[in-house]
Amino acid sequence: MTGVQTCALPIYVAIICGGRSSEHEISCISASGVISAIDRSKYNPSLIGITKSGKWVSLSTETKFEISNGQLPEVPESAPAISLDEIKADVVFPILHGPYGEDGTIQGLLEMLDVPYVGNGVLASAVAMDKHFAKQIFMAHGIAVAPGVVLRKGDEIKDHGLGFPLFVKPARGGSSRGTHKVKSADNLVAAVTDAFKYDNKVMLEKAIVGREVECAVLEKDGKVQCSVPGEIQIDPKFEFYDFEAKYLDGATTVKAPADVKRTSDLQAAAIEAFISLGCSGLARVDFFYIANDEIIINELNTMPGFTPTSVFPKLWGVSGFSYTEIISALIETALRRTNSALN
């Protein structure tokens, strides 16, 4: 992977999508959105795919990844292979969700290659990906979290005093894959068994009754900024904000700005969470807003869904930044190397 002309225009941007995680398909859709909206007067994009088997391939920037007849897209195994040496880029935009992309692994590779990249660095990516570790840091910074415990394979499967309902989730999963709302002990073993398919560490969390409110954090012009909060409103047929609710057309709407009393406190908590994990570039911070106006953090996503209709760009759209402007801000921040291991 080689730089081309860092100081000249257009800047060569390699967009990487797909990957080996269970969020492969969403990554592809996000990449198509970025390709369609990137400012071509400033940036010359190329598209690199990672297949589900881990093969790196070259894709046309005309490739359209979209949900068609209920079928999710994926990087074709038949696409021509490409080596790292063949990728020409001044900056890399790794639109990868979940393990092998959002967890510090590809960030470490790019650090070793000394190539600027969009988004969070190695440490922040790794810690945020592990919800258990992230919760410890949030608590140390005075940010309230839901009560919970961690299970590893071989541990006794019980509610550990959390009561029902509770949530079972992979500690290092994403897009709610392997996540279950469990209403009784009868269903707990099956839910934990399924979660272990996605990770060897599983979290049990007390179900919080409240509204789901999210904030988008963006590092722009050297300053960490927070969008207006948005409330996730889910079709009542869904038990919770699971994979289908997130990505099926019409299943979810985002009300922004959210009708909450503590807007400034939510924004401050989002920025504090961002800073506490050592984040850079961007993050989406998810909260529960409960009846007494208490704020509880759910999680922080270092590479949130980035399709044109995803929550992150929607919140910034309401806050005054277009999808194209967000992409440009992220690339310019990447070129300043604020996420570098040595900064």
pLDDT over threshold 80, residue 119: yes
Q: Which two tokens stand for residue 107?
A: 């960030």
CATH architecture of 128-144+210-335: 2-Layer Sandwich (3.30)
**Average pLDDT score over residue span 210-214:** 95
Q: Which of 148, 245, 188, 172 is nearest to 180 (CA)?
A: 188
Domain ranges of the chain: 11-117, 128-144+210-335, 148-206
Segment 292-327, tens digit of pLDDT: 999 999 999 999 989 888 999 999 999 999 999 999
Q: Where are the beta strands (DSSP E) in 173-281?
A: 180-182, 201-206, 211-220, 223-226, 230-234, 252-255
**Average pLDDT score over residue span 13-41:** 95
- Range of 65-74, 88-97, 234-243 with top mean pLDDT: 88-97
Q: Positive or negative CA dihedral for 293, 228, 270, 109? A: positive
- Quote the longest CA-to-CA distance of the chain: 62
In this structure, are residues 18 and 48 in contact, taking their beta carbons and an 8 Å threshold?
no
User: What confidence tier does 2 reach under pLDDT thresholds 50, 70, 90?
Assistant: low
In this structure, are residues 228 and 318 in contact, taking their beta carbons and an 8 Å threshold?
yes
At 48, the amino acid letter reads I
Do 11-117 and 148-206 come out as alike in CATH topology? no
The topology (CATH level 3) of 148-206 is Dna Ligase; domain 1 (3.30.1490)
**Residue 59 φ then ψ, to 5°:** -125, 150
pLDDT over threshold 80, residue 201: yes
Average pLDDT, the chain: 91
Segment 42-81, tens digit of pLDDT: 999 999 999 999 999 999 999 999 888 878 899 999 999 9
CATH architecture of 11-117: 3-Layer(aba) Sandwich (3.40)
**Residue 39 φ then ψ, to 5°:** -75, 105
**Residue 126 φ then ψ, to 5°:** -65, -45
Please, what's the b/e burial string for 128-157 (b: 16 or more CB within 10 A of its CB; e: otherwise)?
Answer: bbbbebbbebbeeeebebbebbbbeeeeeb
pLDDT of residue 110: 96
